[in-house]
Copies of this chain bind each other. A is one copy, B any other.
Amino acid sequence: MTSADDVREIENLVRERADAVGLRQSEVLLSREHPDVLRFPLLPPTAARGRASTAAALSAWFTGYADGPGYTVHDIEADVVGDLAWCAFFYHVTGVLASGDEVDMWVRSSLVYRRIDGVWQIVHSHESVPFDAGTGQALISEPPPPIA
């Protein structure tokens, strides 16, 4: 059974996540990761396990931006059964890298949460962009299509 309150709680966790990125609050983001989280990140490595790997990735991410990252979430879809939940959404990342390059990127995100002792924690995350099979280039600037 899906409870509307539970679904709203997951949607709010995604919004909390967006706010925490904007404020560079790594500790908030890490508090929502399960110690053994399995991540399929946007950038290498292909996969990573554990909260410590997330901490290192967040640190590198934030350090890489001279301005930003701006981070807004869009089109959140969520479902909950008991103590298991998933959600999918798009996020829009903007800013200026330490190198001076501007970032304006749309990313697909899927998160799986487990509620443990009453606290929702991310056990799996998958973030990506599609790529062009002809050129092999990642398609980082594709706004999400209408999918309703």
Which chain A residues have a beta carbon within 8 Å of chain B's beta carbons?
A: 1, 38, 40-49, 77, 79-86, 88, 90, 106, 108, 110, 112, 114, 123-124, 126, 128-133, 136-140, 142-145, 147-148
Contact (Cβ within 8 A) A126 B88? yes
Copies in the complex: 2
Shortest distance in angstroms between A141's beta carbon and chain B's nearest beta carbon? Answer: 10
Known: A42-B131, A86-B124. 5 other contacts (CB 8 A): A40-B130, A42-B130, A44-B132, A84-B86, A112-B112
Most buried by B among A40, A77, A114, A136: A40
Asked if A147 meets B42 with Cβ closer than 8 Å, knowing A79-B123, A123-B79, the reply is: no
